[in-house]
Structure 1
Amino acid sequence: MSDPTVNRRLVAVFAADVEGYSRLMGDDEVGTLKGLTERRAVLDRLIGEHRGRIANTAGDSVLAEFGSAVEAVQCAVEAQTAMADANSGLAPDRRINFRIGVHIGDVMVRAGDLFGDGVNIAARLQTLARPGGVCISGATYDQVHKVMPITFGDLGTQRMKNIQEPIKAYQVNALADPGEASASLAEIDSPPALPDKPSIAVLPFQNMSGDPEQEYFADGMVEEIITALSRFKSLFVIARNSSFTFKGRAVDVKEVGYRLGVRYVLEGSVRKASDRVRITGQLIDAVSGAHIWADKFERDYKDIFSLQDEVTAAVVSAIHPKLLQTEIETSRRRRPDNLTAYEFFLRMMPNYYLSTREGMGETIRLARRALELDPRYGFVAAVAGACHVLSVISGYSSDPKSDRAEAVRLARLALAIDDDDAEKLAFVAATLALNGDCDDSVEIADRSIALNPNSFHAWHGRGTVYRIAGFPEEAVRSQNIAIRLSPVDPLLFQSFNVMGLALIELGRYDEAVQAAKRALRLNPSFLPAHYCLTSALANLGQDAEAQESAGRLLELDPGFTISARVAGRARSKWILEGLRKTGLPE
C-alpha cells in the first residue's frame, strides 16, 4: 500500500544553489555566511511574495514550490536582479551568485519536503544555469514564453543524470523591454544567441612554466589553433580578440560560453622543463560543463614554430570530428518535429557513414529535405552527390545512369554556391573523379588542401582523386596524412580502401591486403573494400583466400560485374587483373 503521509501534486519546482560555495567559505567563512544570510532573506521574501513555499533547504541551496509556473519564473528573475544589485560593489571573486532552475512536474510531498523526478529535474536544470542566471525546462517554457515579456535562449535537449527521458532546456535572457530593469535581468548582459552550427572559443592557454618567454609561445599557439579552426566553414569560431579578454582571469567555462555565445570552449596549459614542453588541452561543453575531449602532447622544444604547427594540427584534427559527433548525438535527442536544414544535415551524416543501401537512401532523402529548406546548403549538396555515385559503385543503384547524372548535378550545384569551403570541395572533387572527370577534380582537390591543410576530408578527397587520375603514390601519401589527422574518423574505412587500391597499382599487394582488411574491420559491408581485398589476394597468389573473398563479395552483391562496379578511369589494369583471376563475371 502507498504511504498515506505522502501526497502527490503537480507544481512548479524552484531550485537555487550558490555557485562556488565551498571556495567562498574557504576564502572567507565569516563574510560568506553574512552575505549568504542577507541574500537568503531577500530570496525568502520574494518566494513568499510570489505565493511560493520553501520546502527544503540545505546550507547554500533552496528548494521551493509554486502553484504557477509564471510566478516561479518571475520570482527567479526578480531574485537574480536583486542578487546582481547586492554583488555590484564586490570584487568578482567575492560575489555570491546563485544558479536557479525551474521545472513543472509531479512531485511527492512528505512532512513538507519535496521528492521525485520533478525535484531532480529542477536541480539538474540549476546546474545548467550560468552564475546569476535562470534555466527552465521545456514544460515550463511552454507555460510562460507567451505570457511573460522575457526572451529565452534554446539550450537544446539535455541528458540528465538518473533521468530516463531527455529534457528540453532554455535559459532566461532578459525582458523584452530593457527599461523595466526593476523586474528583469536587464542589468545582466543578454548573451548572443547560439549559432546554428558548432560554436567554439579557444581561451588563452595557461603558462605553467614560470618563464615569461613561454607566454609568447602559448599565445602564439592559441592564435594558430584559432586560425586553423576558422578554416572549417562548418564551425563558428570566436575571434582572438574576444577570446583573449579572458587572459589572466580565473573563469567559469559556463560564463565564457554565455558571454561569447558559444557552445564549446577549449582551454589548456603549457609547461616547459629543460628541453621538453608539455601541452594539455580540454574541450568542454559550456552549457552542461561536460568534458568532450582531453589530451596532452609532449615534444622536444627545438624549433618553436614547427612545434606550434605540430600541436595545432594534432589539436584541431582531434577537435573537429569530435564536435560533429557531439552535435550528431545531441540532434538524436531532439524532438523530430523541430527540424531545420542543419538538423537534417546532422541526421543524414550517420547514415552516410554506414555506406549501406539503406544508409545511402536515407542520406539522399534527408539531403533533399535540407535543400528544400535551404537551397544554398552547399555541403549537403556535395555529400548527396557523393551518395549517388557511391550507390552506383556499391551496387545499390537501380538506375546507375540517372544516379551518375544526379551526382554531377549536385556536385556542380555545390560548386556554384561557393568555392571556399575545403571540405565541400573535397566531396565535389571525389564525386567528379568517380564519374570520370579527373581534370577538374585534381584542381579542385588541390584547392581544398590549400584552403584547409588540417582537414581529414580534404586529404581523403585528394587521395581519392589522385588514385583515379593515375598517381597512386600521391594517393597513398594523402590518405596517410588523412589518417594521421583523424585516426578515429567514421570514414576511415574509405581511406584504407582507397589506399589499398593505390597499393595494388603500385604492386605492393601484401600492403594492399592489410589496408583492405582494415577497411573491412571498420565497415564489413563496404563493397569496394571487398573487391579491393579480392584483387590484392589474387595478385599476391593467395588463390584460396581470393576465391573466398570473391564469394563474400557475390553474397553481398549477387549482381556484381566488373564492368558495372569498377567503372570509368578507376579501372586500373592491376585491379582488373586480380578480379579476373578469381573468375568474377565481366
Structure 2
Amino acid sequence: MATVNRRLTSILATDCVGFSSLMEKDEEKTLDNLKACRSIIDPYIEEFGGKIFYTAGDSVIAEFVSPVSCVNAAINFQKAIDERNKITEESSIMTWRVGVHMDDVIVEKDNIYGSGVNIAARLEAACTPGQILLSSTVKDQVDNKIEFSVEDAGTKALKNISDSYQTYGISPTGGKVEKTDGKSYAKKESERNYKPKLAVMPFSNASNDEDSGYLVDGIVEDLITEFSMIRELELVSRQSCFDFRDNDMDLKAFCEKFSVDYVVVGSIRSSGKRVRISVELSDAKDDSQIWSQKFDKIIEDIFDVQDEIVRQISGKLLGEIELSSLERAQRKPTENLSSYELLLKGKVLHHKIQKDALRNALTTFDEAIKADETNGQAYAWKACALGQGMSRGFIEGDMAEIWSEAEGCLKKAHELNDNDFEVHRLMAEVNLSGRNFRVAERHASKAYKMVPNDPRVLSVYGEVSLRLGKIDQGLDALKLALEIDPIAQGKTNSDSRTSPVLFGEYLARNKNNCLELVEKLEDIDPKSWLVTAKLCNDEEHDITEEDWYKRGKEKFKDKDWTNEVDAFRLNNDGAKESLIEFANSLF
C-alpha cells in the first residue's frame, strides 16, 4: 500500500451564503462578485501563512501551521468583505461563513483530506453568516491571543459527527454570537424534514386491450410525475411501483420494504373518447380508506382529472397548502390529444428496455411529433430513446449521426419548452458526460427544483453536486434515489444506485460507510473498488485479506487505470492523478 502523508494543522473552511440562488438569478454577475470576494479572501489567507487547496465553486479550504494565524486571516477577510458589502449595490452583496478546526489531516498534491477537514466544513455550514465558528481545540489555542473576544456559541448539530458539538463564535462585524442547543435543533430539523411517503401503484386496465394498457400506464406515470413535484411528499419511484406489478409482489410486503405511509390504487376503463377513472387513497399501516372517487370524463379532460386527483390526495395528506406544481399550463405537453396518446405509448415502450420495443418507441415518438410539431416532450423522449438505443446496442448505424440527431431533438425540445424537467435532466446528463460541470449544474438544479422526487433527476443532481464540492447535497440526493428506486430502470440489482452513493461517501471520507456499501455490490465496479481501497489506505485500515478487495484485484488486474480513472469524470486533476498512482501501485 502507498505511504500516507499526515500532519497536524489548522483548517479554515469558508463559502458564500446562498450562492446557488445567486447563480440562478444572474450567473454572470454572481461569478464577477465571487471573483471580487476571492480577491479579498485569498490575499489575507496568504498574508497569514495559509495555503489554499483545491476548491470548487464558491468554497475555499485552506490550512495554516498556526491556529492564531488561521483565525486572524478569517477575522481580517470577514471585516473586509463587510466593508465591501457596505459600498456595493444590494444585488452584488455576498456574505461568507467560516469554520475553523485543528486536527490531523492527509495532504496529497493539491488536496487535503481527513475528518478534520469535514469538521471544519460542518462548522462553516453551522456558522452564522458574517461570523466565524471555532471548535474547542481552536478556541483553547487562540484565547487571549487575538483582538476579538471568543464567545460560547453553544452546541451545534454537525451532520454525521455529533448532535451536540461544542462551538465558539467570533463576530468581526459586531453582530451577536447566538448560543444554541444542538440536540434541540436536530430534533426540530428532523420533525420539519419529515415527509409522508406515497406510492402510486399501477392502475388496472379495466378495458383489457393493449392500446388501453398504454393509455393506463401513461396516465399513471403522469400522476407519479405530478406527485413528484410536491416537495412536501416523498414518492416511491415509477420503476419500483411498476416492478411490483410485474413481479406479482404482495402489496403489504411492498409497503413494508419501502416504508410507505400511503398508497394510491385505481382502475381505468376507456371506450372511444370516454374514460372512467376510479381512484382510492389508503393508509398503508392499517389499510383504511382515506379517500376515493370516480371520474367519468372524455379524454380531452384527462389533464383536469389528473390535477384534481393530485389536489385531492395532497390535500388529504398535507392539508390546504399551495401547490405550485399544479400550474400545469406551462408544462402541458400538447393540446393535441392524438399526439399526447402517442407520447404516452412511446414512453411505455421506452421503459421496456427491449430492442423491438425501443425501435417501436422511436417510431411512436416520430408519430407524436408528426401529429404536433410543438410537442416538446416527444422530442425530449426521442432523444432519451436514442441514447438508450446507442448505449445498449439496440440501434445500428453511424453513432456520430445518431448522437447528432439526439442532440438536435434535445435542442428542439428546449426551444419549445424551457419548463420541461425532462429536457433539463437530459441536458444535465449530456453536460456532465462532457465535463461541463457548471452548465450541468444549471440544468440539474432546474430539473430538481421542478421535480425533487424523480430518481433520475436526483441521480444527475447528486452526481453534479459531488463534482462541484457540494458533498452533503449530492449524497442526500443520491441516497434518496437509492431509497425510492433501488433497482433503476433496465437494471437487475441495486448496484447502479449504490455505487454513486459509495463514491459520495468516499468524497465525504466516510470509510465505514464505504466498507458497508462495497459489500452490498453484487458485481463490484472499478470505481467503487478503487476509491474504497484508497480511503482505507489513507486511514491505514488493512484490507488485503478482505474478500471484496481480493475479488477486485483479480478482476481488474488488466485495467488501464489512466483511462479508467478518467472515466470517473472528476473535477480535480490532483485527485485524479493520486488515484491513478495509487491504482498502479496495487498491481
Instruction: Give TM-score scaled by structure 1 length.
Output: 0.39
Structure with the larger RCO, 1 or 2 (CA within 8 Å, 6+ apart): 2
Higher Rg of the two aligned structures: 1
Instruction: Give TM-score scaled by structure 2 length.
Output: 0.39
